[in-house]
Amino acid sequence: MMSHVDNPILEARRLGDPPPGLVREALLAQHDQWAGTPYRLGGTTRRGIDCSALVQQIFSDTFLVDLPRTTGDQVLAGDQVAREELKPGDLVFFRPPGVYRHVGIYVGDGRFFHASTSRGVMISELDNSYWQRYYWQARRTLEPTTLAQRLLASREG
């Protein structure tokens, strides 16, 4: 069995949750930089980006975390969490009609940050009837304490 020193998730749980505002503020600052960027399937830049590339980029830039490139692979990352247990930094997944799946990052207060196919990078409400209808699951890739620690490390480096 791993000790909390060997396992960052156990270490984060031992330390307890950081103020949720730290991760939320960082995500909202990233939103301000990306807001209005158009959606482009397969895109990875501010000229056009898709939902999974946005999530991958935000986690890399903000938390120094490498996530897989596609929604199909991102949905396998971390641990599944109940919708009622969402915390800023959790990934939220949707299954709208058609072949594609959709992913965003929960920012708190029932809202998530994502690259919308119709409106580009934006913040939406989970309780919106469209997103409510197609909500699939949420995943926690790292505990909030670990995200906060990585955020602080990224600011120092």
The residues carrying an active-site annotation are: 51, 102, 114
* Nearest residue to 126 (alpha-carbon basis) of 136, 139, 141: 136
3-state secondary structure the chain: CCCCCCCHHHHHHHHCCCCHHHHHHHHHHHHHHHCCCCECCCCEECCEECHHHHHHHHHHHHHCCCCCCCHHHHCCCCEEECHHHCCCCCEEEECCCCCCCEEEEEEECCEEEEEECCCEEEEEECCCHHHHHHEEEEEECCCHHHHHHHHHHHHHC
Record the tokens describing residue 81, joined without a space: 């969490």
CA distance 104 to 27: 11
